[in-house]
Amino acid sequence: MSALAGILAERGFLVSGSDPRPSPVLERLGSAGVRVFQEQTVATITAMLAGLDGTMADPLVVISSAVPAANQELAEARRRGLPIVHRSDVLAALINAQPSIAVAGSHGKTTTSTLIATLLEAVGEDPTAVIGGIVPAFGSNGRHGQGRLLVAEADESDGSLVKFRPRLGLLTNVELDHTDHYPDLAALVATLQHFAGGCTTLLANRDCPVLREHFQATSWWSTCSSEGVDFAAIPLEERGDGTLATWYEHGEPLGTLEVPLPGRHNLSNTVAAMAACRLEGVPFEDLRRAVAGLRPPGRRFDCRGLWQDRAIVDDYAHHPSEVAATIAMARLMVESGRSPLPLVPRRLVAVFQPHRYTRTAQFLDDFAAALTQADAVLLAPLYAAGEAPMAGVSSPALAEAVRALAPDLPVAVATSMEALAELVAGGTGPGDLVLAMGAGDVNSLWERLGALDERGRPTALVA
């Protein structure tokens, strides 16, 4: 929503909105001319409309799937008969109005769209971008460019991406998720097939078995084999601070790449981004130089800093496959002795916050299996995201599942976010990589550790 608001403001629209929580994002929007209200009440709608007095503007209310029907602003907008559209309708209007690249799939959407936009900006294409995370090169999740291309993240969580008609559609992978919306994998595949049918050209990941079976792509990429695909990067050396790989097009090697993002999943994201740029005519040599400056988006293995000689890393991983890939990347840092962090970690402590009762119930055993690859596990209280509790689904239940698989693995459960910070303080030591994962408020761990410093840090693990 904030990316769309910023782009529309840059394009001359009068934009207002509300958010009760101050943030740097809101500060940027305010500097771009967006009126931001902190209260979400009937009076806010009245004030927004008053701001249009004396203009020829026709008001349009834009909502996301996260806005509940009982929201006071939404109820007042309906009472006044104001036109109301979903955020996906606005994004579709942008995507469909110019040559665009839309990135969809279960995992890696934010990172891949960030890498595409970063590469295009680095080679002088000046793209417009609408992305679900902060792009380091832009300092924002949205960018109003003057170039011919628009890059957008196409979220599948509510099925609204079927409205998009991009020139180039990109599918990273497909795996069951968002079980609150999709009853099974077949329903998710059907939605993504609908999206694919609206793309002029489709670029897809040949390494994903679901994509191979259910989709007919115009072009394929891989990190496993250069045969039978249009683009590939085959690893020569995988380290904790990046990957050295050979780049292939149609089976022919063109040269080596030094990818500064560790992990096989990040190599796949980079291949996808480069392949998209190549399909848009960007020369390989220009991309090879630009790859050296790639950085992941915010909340994707985002090092917040050193706290008491521990590296505190924030990551958005909230699906078992994402948790497993993120832990594998961190494990590579521990085992290879090379790391992009301010220290080379000696031990990996996984801090995980389950997100949604439905997702946790569906994937409890898979989450447990992924977490056993850490050296210690600390669990935050489950983040409900508005869902009603489900019997037997909780962080303690996940802890028991982890212990059943790895009886000797240290596992502890916090009863609150404040208690989680105390668990981190008492249960970790200098040289540890503290990897906080989840889509809820576990990203507040860094601030909560700072608050501990102010009132005195505990010295023993709180069980």
Which of 412, 264, 263 lies closest to 338 in space, CA to CA?
263
Is 109 among the catalytic positions? yes
Q: Which residues pair with 147 in a beta bridge?
A: none
Helix axes 357-371, 320-336, angle to 10 degrees: 30
Q: Measured between alpha carbons, how far is 274 from 245 in angstroms, rounded to an integer?
A: 13
Contact yes or no for 348/374 (Cβ under 8 A): yes
Is 153 among the catalytic positions? yes
Query: Which of 44, 76, 110, 223 is flagged as catalytic?
Result: 110
Q: Measured between alpha carbons, how far is 92 from 86 in angstroms, rounded to an integer?
A: 10
Q: How far apart are the first and last CA of the chain?
A: 40
Q: Measured between alpha carbons, how far is 26 from 2 in angstroms, rounded to an integer?
A: 8
Furthest-apart CA atoms within the chain: distance in Å: 70
Q: How many CA atoms, within 13 angstroms, populate the side-chain half-sphere of residue 426?
A: 17
Which of 439, 414, 194, 240 lies closest to 341 in space, CA to CA?
240
Q: Measured between alpha carbons, how far is 232 from 247 in angstroms, rounded to an integer?
A: 6
Q: How many CA atoms, within 13 angstroms, populate the side-chain half-sphere of residue 178?
A: 18
> Which DSSP letter does residue 389 get?
P
* Beta-carbon count within 10 A of 211 CB: 23
Which of 298, 295, 316 lies closest to 121 in space, CA to CA?
295
CA 441 to chain CA centroid, Å, is: 14
Residue with tokens 């946790």: 360
- Provide the token pair at 391: 């019997």
Query: Which of 44, 76, 109, 191 is flagged as catalytic?
Result: 109
Residues sharing a CB contact under 8 Å with residue 326, sequence separation 6 or more, in sequence order: 263, 301, 315, 317, 435, 437
Contact yes or no for 456/425 (Cβ under 8 A): no
Residues sharing a CB contact under 8 Å with residue 447, sequence separation 6 or more, in sequence order: none
Query: Which of 153, 156, 322, 422 is flagged as catalytic?
Result: 153
Q: Measured between alpha carbons, how far is 449 from 425 in angstroms, rounded to an integer?
A: 7
Q: Measured between alpha carbons, how far is 230 from 327 in angstroms, rounded to an integer?
A: 30
Is 372 among the catalytic positions? no
Contact yes or no for 294/114 (Cβ under 8 A): no
- Provide the token pair at 403: 């212990």
Q: Measured between alpha carbons, how far is 448 from 308 in angstroms, rounded to an integer?
A: 13
Residues with catalytic function: 109-110, 153
